[in-house]
Amino acid sequence: MKKIHVNTSCPYDVLIERGAVKECGKYIAEVTSARKAAVITDDTVGALYGDTVVRSLENSGFECRVFTFPHGEQSKSLSNLGDIYDFLCEFNITRSDILIALGGGVVGDITGFAAASYLRGIQFVQIPTTLLAQVDSSVGGKTAIDIKGGKNLVGAFKQPVLVLCDSDTLKTLPRDVLADGMAEAIKYGMIRDSHLFELFEKHDLDTVDEAMDDIVYTCIDIKRDVVEHDEFDRGERMILNFGHTLGHALEAWHNYTDFTHGNGVAAGMCMISDRLAPQVAGRLKKCIGAYELPVGTDIPMNELLPFCSKDKKRESDMINYIVCEEIGKAEIKKVTVSEFSRLMGE
């Protein structure tokens, strides 16, 4: 087993082990004195792993109930959050009990926010089952739901008490969902670790599973370092947004339907590198292509830029964007909206 200790305001461990889901009860019992565990999951993940998790929790002495909601981003909603609160209330969950998020980033984000807000805060565990959730959303404490005004606009910082990553769960992922997670993984290579990037270059979507434990470990360790330095997202944490300014604009242009976050990040990293770091763009695009992700877009820049200027990471009329002039090194740049438009060729 590999372990990463995350030293945030509420410290916790991330355990990385194939087969960990089957033994989750044992690991969770080591970090909590809770006797009741409320498992929150979606219908796809619940059908695949729900029984295994419940059996393991019950074998470790937890009283357990499961709340299942339909898979997909539309479930990261106020109405689903209300249903989760009602479920917790009916199960008489108290502050000394625990929530278990079993699923991808959608399950992790809404369960984390329920844990941050229900009874003014209770413990929760992340069992991320997508690559994106393992390398990114389950670690670092950002939790959120979407509202009509936009994605992730209501949320809280709430660190889990444990993250359990079982890379065997990634074997049941649809190919495009695995590829989505690869976009975020490649991002870590670009911003911090040229050796990690070289590992990606040696593989493709068909062969990457053999390197998965190392990839998950290295990506989480990079995220740990960034988050420990800037837990509340006031500066350095912004480097995790490489590719995200244009990526979010692409997602918003598509009205958040039929275009995933990972596809946005992949295209966004390539587009910014094409314009501002052409010396690395060729290698990046070749690598992104090997994971069946987009290396750009046909949408004209003048249609995307209005969405960039609505990015929630904007400060007044300034935009922060990230550029990697060398593989493994990221810089945060701050420019006006009109300067960003000029840089992007408009």
Element (H, E) at 291: none
Burial 75-112 (b: 16+ CB within 10 A, else e): bbbeebbeebeebbeebebeeebbbbbbbbbbbbbbbb
Cβ 102 to ligand NAD, closest distance in Å?
A: 9
Closest CA to 114 of 167, 76, 162, 58: 76
Binding at 237: pick from ligand GLY, ligand NAD, none (beta carbon under 5-8 Å per type): ligand GLY
Instruction: Report in angstroms how near the CB of residue 82 gets to ligand GLY at its nearest.
Output: 25
Among 71, 192, 203, 237, indicate the residue that binds ligand GLY (CB under 6 A).
237
Q: Enter the DSSP assignment of 272.
A: H
CA–CA separation, 176 vs 58, rounded Å?
A: 34
How far apart are CB 139 and ligand GLY at their closest, in Å? 8
* 320, 334 Cβ separation under 8 angstroms: yes
Both structure tokens of 185: 């993984």
Q: What 3-state DSSP class applies to 214?
A: helix
When binding is defined by CB under 6 A, the residue of 97, 166, 180, 231 that contacts ligand NAD is 180
**How large is the angle between the packed helices 278-290 and 261-276, nearest 10 degrees?**
150
Q: Which is nearer to ligand GLY, 46 or 105 (CB)?
A: 105
**Sign of the C-alpha dihedral computed for residues 171, 250, 43 and 14 taken in this order:** positive
Instruction: Give CA 254 to chain center in angstroms.
Output: 20
Q: Residue 103 or 189: which CB sits closer to ligand NAD?
A: 103
Pick from 106, 186, 222, 240 the residue near ligand GLY by CB under 6 A: 240
Closer CB to ligand GLY, 182 or 290, in the complex: 182
As given in the structure block, the two tokens for residue 83 are 């249903």
- Smallest gap from residue 144 Cβ to ligand NAD (A): 6
Hey, what amino acid is at 90?
E
DSSP class of residue 173 equals S
Nearest distance, CB of residue 188 and ligand GLY, angstroms: 11
30-69: which residues touch ligand NAD (CB under 6 A)? 42, 44-45, 48
Out of 36, 76, 158, 248, name the contact with ligand NAD by CB under 6 A.
76
Q: Which of 100, 133, 178, 281 binds ligand NAD (CB under 6 A)?
A: 133
Which CB, 182 or 240, lies closer to ligand GLY?
A: 240
What are the Cα distances from residue 339, in Å, to 106, 200, 235, 239, 316? 34, 33, 21, 20, 14
Assigned token pair, 97: 């009990």
Residue 71 binds ligand NAD, judged by CB under 6 A: yes
Please count the other Cβ atoms lying within 10 Å of the Cβ belonging to residue 336.
Answer: 13
Q: Given the complex with ligand NAD, which of 104 and 243 has the nearer CB atom? A: 104
Give least dist CB 137 to ligand GLY, A. 6
Question: What x-and-dash track marks residues 260-299 binding ligand NAD by CB under 6 A?
Answer: -x--------------------------------------
* Residues in 131-150 that interact with ligand GLY by CB under 6 A: 136, 140, 142
> Position 324: which residue type?
C
Query: Which residues lie near ligand GLY (CB under 6 A)?
Result: 136, 140, 142, 233, 237, 240
Query: Which residues lie near ligand NAD (CB under 6 A)?
Result: 42, 44-45, 48, 71-73, 76, 103-107, 109, 129-130, 132-133, 136-137, 140, 142, 151-152, 169, 172-173, 177, 180, 261
